[in-house]
Every structure is written in C-alpha cells, then in structure tokens.
Amino acid sequence: MLRRSHLSIAFAAAIAATNVGASQFYIFPVKEIEGLSERATETVRPLVDRRVVKYFTPEMQRDLLGYFVAGVASIYPQSTVHARQVRDTVKGSYKFVNNDNQACGEGFVAPVGSAYAIAIGVTRASYFEVDRGANVELLIPLTINLQLIKPERGKIAYTISETIYTPFLFTKQEMGLPKTAASISNALADNSRKLISSLLETARRNFNPNETPVRIIGRDGKFLVANKGFEIGFQPGLELEAVTAAGKQALFRVISVDSGYTVLLPIAGSVSEGEDYLFTFETGVDDARKPKLMPVTSNKPEKLWSNRVAELFAKDIGFNAPFQLAPVDVNFSDTMDSVRALANCVPWDKYPAARTVSDSRSDAPQFFLRFEHSLSPVALNKAANSVKTSETFISAVSAQVVDNDGNVVFAELGSDRYELDKVDNRGLSLANAQEVALKNATSRLAENFRKSIKLTPTDFRIARVSDGNFWVDGLPATGQNIVYEVLRPLSVSINGKPALMKQALDGTTQPPEQDGGQARFAYSISSPDVPKPEKGDIVRVLTPLRGHLPEMSACGDIYRAEGSLKADYLAPLFNHVAYRSPRYLVSISDADFYSDANRLLASGFYRFRLPHFTPTEFCFKPGYKLVQKSGECKESCTSTFLSAGSVIVEKGGARTQQAVVAQEVTIEGFAEAERNNFIGLKSMEESLRTLEDLSRKFNPK
C-alpha cells in the first residue's frame, strides 16, 4: 500500500509537469565541483591526487562554477533554472533566477518531473614530477566528468568526460614559491574552462529530450506491447510518464525491451490497446537486448591505471560490441546527496527512487571485464655529443570477459610501441608519453575486441516447472555454471512472430544438474511484476557450453628460468595465451578481482555478488627466460640474447603441459648502461610478435 501511495504522489507531480508542455524540460546546475570538496578524501576519490587539489583554491572553484552556470544557461537558454526553483509542482512563466537565497515557491517554479540536474566533477587528477637536473618537470592530467541526472528517479540520464594534460617546467629554485603555485593554479583554471566548454558543447549536441509517439499495439494479460523498442530509448526498469494528444496521462514500468517493440506494465492511469502516447527520451542508448558487461577497476595505488583503461575502453568500444557496458559510478550516492541538498524545495520523501537502497537492484550484469597491463622497460638512446634523445617503450593492455561464476569467456589484447623524441631535453614528459601509449594500446584492444568477440546465443525450451525449479530438454548439464535468460512468448505478434518478454530472475551461481536426461535449474523471481517460468518458455544460453573441459586457473606465481634477467612485465602476455585457450575452462583466481567486483556491485546497489574463487584441478603459470649469450661495447654496444616465453600447466604441483617459443635476437647501437633496458624492450616486442605461435603450441589440434 505504501508503495502505491508513493507512485500516486509521483504520478500527480508528473501530471502537473505535463501541463507545462510535454516537450519542455528544465536543467538546474549543481553548484559544487565534485572531487574537490573536503569530504572527497583520497579514500573516497583515489584517482584525485591531493597535491593537485590544493591548486584549486576556493576562489578558483567559485569562478569555475560561475563559468559553468553561465555556460549551461547559454546552451539551454529556455531550460536553465536554479536548484531552488525546482519543486513538485509548476508555477508562473519561465524565468531563470540565479539566486542562492531565493525562497521556495518564489517566482517561476519548475516541476521536478521535467527537471534534470547537471553536475561536473574532477574524476581524475594525477601529479607527475620528474627531476631534470637543474629543472623539475611537472605533468598534471585532469579529467572532468559531466553528468545529467534525473533526480526523482535516481538515474544518470547522460554522462561524458574529457581529459587534458597540463605540463610545466620550473627551476628547482622556483619550486615551492607562491608565484609558482599561482602559475600552476592559473594554468589549471584555464584548462578547466576549456574542458567545461567542450563538455557543455558535447552535451548541447547530444542531450535534448524529445517526445516520441508510441502506439500500444497489443495486450497479454496485464502486459502491454508498444510498437517501438530500445532504439528510441526504452530501457528495462525505467518508470516513464506519457500523455496522449488529448492530454490523457499514464505511468508505465518498462519490463522488457527488444528491437521494434517494448513490453510495458501500466502502473497508473487507464490505458487501452490502439492508443498513441508521447514518451520523452533523452539520448540514444545501446541495444538493451545485449547482456551487461561491468568493467572492474581497482582503487589500489598500483592499479589505478585500470580506471583510465576502463574509461578509454568505454569511449572506444561504442555501440558495436555484443555487450552493453554497465560501469558503476562509485560516487553517485554523493552526487545525489548534493542534488537533494541544493534542490531542497523538492519534498524528496515523495520520490523513493531518489534514494537508492543497498542491494535493491536485481538487474546485475551477467559479465565482468577484467584488465591486465604490461609496460616494458624504457630504452634510452642518445648519440654522443648530441642534444637529441629517444626513449622507446611498449605498453600492452589485455582484457578478459568473465561470467558471473568467474570463468573467462573471451580474451583480447592491444599494444602500442612508443618512441619519445626530445631535443635539448624538451618535449613530452615520459609520464605523458606513457599515458598516450596506454590510450593507444586500449584503443587497439577495443578495436580487436569488436572484431573478434561474438556472442552466439542458443535457445532451448522449458519442459516442466515445479517448486522453484525448471527442466530443460537438450541442454547438457556438465557442472558448468551457465549464463542464461528466460523469455516468455506473448500472444502479441511482431512481424509474424510472438513478442518475447524477458523474465526477471535472480542471478545464480548454482550450475544446472542433470536429471533424467534433462537439465534442472533452480530459480527465484526478483520482481513481483513478472510471472514465474512456464512450460514452453525459452531458455537462451548466452555463452558457449564448455563444462566438459578441464578447469584451470592461475597458479599465482611466475616461472623465471635460472640466470634470467627479471622481466615480469612479460607475464600478462603469456597469461593471455592461457585465458583464450579453447582446451580449458579458465577461471580467474585473483582475489583482488573478486573484492573489486563485489565492491562495485555494492556501490551500484546490486543484490548479486560474485562467489569466491573455487580452486581448480589444473593451474597455469607464465614463464620466461631472458639471457644474454654474447655482446661487446666499443663506441656503442651489441648484444645477442635468448628470449623465451612459456605457458606451463600443473596438476597437484606436477607439470602436465608446457608450450615454449624461443629465439635468439641480436640488437645493437645502445649504451652499455642501457643494455638490460634494450634487451627488455626487444624481448617484449618479440613476445608480442610470437604470441600466436605460442598459442598454437599451447592448443595443438
């Protein structure tokens, strides 16, 4: 009863909002730069270095917020309002009153049902300092994020971010002087304004809520089928207000989405088949039929690069992958706290969705994206009596798609060889160059991901259902947990075929069991809105059935041949060979992956948690041997060395399989002090070149 009361109140507010004009929307700026406040500690914002924050003085932040508010008003001149102009009703003629002290209800009032909060925040600020003899070289990468939020739904409607790099060169005597700090602050302020302008311009082009006419074309029991799908913005779980041309109001919950149609549940208002409703959608969205893929990032200092990789990967992958990315904003609760505090004329108790409850979401991602990064030694080349230098290195990023039981489903890799040339020690800093190389490697990873990773779902039918279990014909139960979804064919036809409604089942890590020639699944319903599975429903298996394969995971150590140079940066490359092996069902054994994934699931308010790793029968370890065979130095040096890489499989500590690739390599033209760095660089280059050979040896036909 309480839930229905909340819905009725929210619906009444939506009706008031619609009287303004269904296409009208309002935007109120959040006057706070997230990530720079005192509560944004390094624990809460590990990517924001406090050495950078100190340059964003209170006066500078006020100026930037003024610039931001003015920018919002310029791109949305008929929509911008102050946070205190937003309420649960509408009043007066439009006017933006930028007054923090205005009374609630004074002058024009915008309805929260038609309003969006727009917020900016510093999501990353790094500080790199390099000693250059008499000088100090600084590099400060700064990432600013812009979000448009539907506050009464507790939902991010649109988000983008951009990064800018600010380099500095000071003498050591200048470091620590007030004028130096002022110079850094001024440069950061200028670049922050550039980022804000660019973000707002991108938002102007892409965020313009529009009305779309949608027809109710059929009914199956309490469910309605509409004639448009994810392509216009429908997403499962949304609660959407809509209105007919005659002003008839309705409130719908989106149950299931496909291409060209959507299954809706009416929760307020009287709705009839054949009626046309106007729905308002903000931006284009990814295919809601695709399974969700959550990037897993770390807040440990040595793994902060994973956040940058996840951000870059999301931008590069676009809508063309077989998954829809579902990143978690770990600071969204803080954002909503700020929105509610500033828009404090809204009676937020009327909108329970504005306060997301822990473990309240049942639509957890079915897959997780894990990253590994490898960076070679930096090989410095400087000719005698020359002011020119060259620093060369390789950056590689690999990714594993992991199912909800910790098994690797797909794996891909991207790399970049970077040469940093300088004259008289001037040019990009090494830290900046490594950032660029990481970006390039991630871009190639995303490109390879799009090309090689395919999902080929397989459909089966439910034969019978009883007491929280259903049985499926033709599906072998081999002990492997299966990622699947259950679809109900409805009585409404779309293009001559039954519309399909996805059932809301809680994710489980319990594998199906063989039972009399059928696979038996245990299930539980995660939403009272949808019916239980029935005989004839479709079980769509999303991943290849590989339960018949031997299970394998990482042993946890690296094999280093006796006498070898240390080259652990090669390990992720050889791990990649194991992860993509078709001969094994490979599981992730890294404890940090599970703790990070579950931390993100909790931050996203998901009920599901990844189960702890279960030891496997087999384990693998990467191995290498890097040994100089011969070499000499005159004006410059030459070296011939053995570069070998391997993947070793063990069972109970005994070796059961080993694949090796090895080659002798000769390099020349380097200084003696740089010998190991050049050997390391070349060994990584050779390892990448021969990775397919190693994979073929590890997986003989």
Q: Which residue has the higher pLDDT, 516 or 384?
A: 516
Quote the CA–CA distance of 264 and 273 in Å, as a whole number: 12
Do 34 and 58 lie in one domain? The reply is yes
Give the integer Cα–Cα distance in Å for 87 and 453. 47
- Asked whether the predicted pLDDT for residue 293 surpasses 60, the reply is yes
| Residues 437 and 336 grouped into a single domain | no
Q: Which residues pair with 247 in a beta bridge?
A: none
Average the pLDDT over each of 273-277, 356-360, 597-601, 610-614 and give the range with the smallest value. Answer: 356-360
Instruction: Give the range among 450-464, 623-637, 668-682 with minimum mean pLDDT.
Output: 450-464
- Which residue did the predictor score with more confidence, 23 or 656? 656
Residue 287 lies inside a defined structural domain of this protein: no
What's the pLDDT tens digit per position in 503-548? 877 655 678 888 888 888 888 877 777 788 889 999 998 887 776 8
% of residues, the chain, pLDDT over 90: 49
* Claim to verify: residue 190 and residue 338 sit in the same structural domain: yes
User: Number of folded domains in the chain?
Assistant: 4
Residue 221, CA distances (Å) to 158, 218, 241, 512, 530 in order: 34, 10, 21, 31, 11
CA dist., res. 235 & res. 262, Å (int): 9
Q: Which of 292, 235, 239 is nearest to 269 (CA)?
A: 239
Give the whole-angstrom CA distance, residue 669 versus residue 380.
11
What whole-number distance in Å separates Cα of residue 386 and Cα of residue 391?
A: 14
Same domain, 180 and 257: no
Q: Is the pLDDT of residue 263 over 90?
A: yes
- Which SS3 state, helix, strand or coil, does residue 592 take? helix
% of the chain exceeding 70 in pLDDT: 92
For residue 166, give its domain range.
Answer: 2-207+329-351
With the C-alpha atoms ordered 484, 485, 486, 492, is the resulting torsion angle positive or negative? negative
CATH code: domain of residue 265 = 2.40.10.340
Give yes or no for a contact between 48 and 122, defined as CB atoms under 8 angstroms apart.
Answer: yes
Q: 474 lies in a domain?
A: yes
Tell me what pLDDT residue 638 has.
94
pLDDT category of residue 489 using cuts at 50, 70 and 90: very high
pLDDT at 19: 37
Residue at 308 is within a domain? no
Q: What is the biggest distance separating any 2 CA atoms in the chain, rounded to whole angstroms?
A: 90
555 and 441 within one domain: yes
Greater confidence, 5 or 559? 559
Domain boundary among 541, 566, 581: 541
Answer whether 488's CB lies under 8 Å from 531's CB. Answer: yes
Confidence at residue 244, expressed as pLDDT on a 0 to 100 scale: 87
Residues 44 and 145 in one domain: yes
Q: Is the pLDDT of residue 295 over 90?
A: yes
Q: Helix, strand, or coil here: 514? A: strand
Decide if 420 is inside a domain: yes
Same domain for 174 and 248? Answer: no
Residue 402 Cα distances to 294, 408, 600, angstroms: 10, 4, 15
Residue 165 within any structural domain of the chain: yes
Are 89 and 152 contained in the same domain?
Answer: yes
* pLDDT per position as a tens digit, 424-444: 777 778 888 898 899 999 999
- What is the average pLDDT score of the chain? 87
Q: Of the residues 317, 351, 385, which one is the last residue of a structural domain? A: 351
Domain for residue 300, yes or no?
A: no
For residue 103, is pLDDT > 80?
yes
Least confident of 71-80, 416-425, 472-481, 661-670: 472-481
242's CB contacts (< 8 A; 6+ apart) are 214, 249, 250, 251, 252, 277, 278, 279
Top mean-pLDDT range of 139-143, 215-219, 291-295, 373-377? 373-377
Q: Is residue 36 within 8 Å of residue 64, measured between CB atoms?
A: no
pLDDT value at residue 22? 37
Average pLDDT on 253-282 reads: 88
If we measure between CA atoms, which residue out of 208, 209, 189, 187 comes closest to residue 33?
Answer: 189
Domain CATH for 486: 2.40.10
Which tokens sit at 463? 């034969």
Q: Is the pLDDT of residue 648 over 60?
A: yes
Query: 208: how many CB neighbours lie within 10 A of its CB?
Result: 13
Residue 486 has pLDDT above 50, yes or no: yes
CA atoms within 13 A on the CB side of 496: 0
Q: Say whether both 557 and 443 belong to one domain.
A: yes
Which range among 262-266, 267-271, 335-339 shows the weakest confidence by mean pLDDT? 267-271
**H or E element that contains 184:** helix 178-206
pLDDT at residue 455, as a whole number: 79
Residue 598 pLDDT greater than 90, yes or no: yes
Region 164-173: mean pLDDT is: 90
Residues 15, 75 share a domain: yes
Residue 198 lies in a domain: yes
As a whole number, mean pLDDT of residues 344-364 equals: 78
Domain boundary at 541, 575, 592, which? 541
Beta strands 497-502 and 484-494, pairing class: antiparallel
155 and 48, same structural domain?
A: yes
The answer to whether residue 13 scores a pLDDT higher than 70 is no
Residues 148 and 20 in one domain: yes
Q: How far is Cα 2 from Cα 4, in angstroms, rounded to an integer?
A: 5
Give the pLDDT band (50/70/90) at residue 180: very high
- Per the domain annotation, does 324 fall within a domain? no
558 token code pair: 């690296």
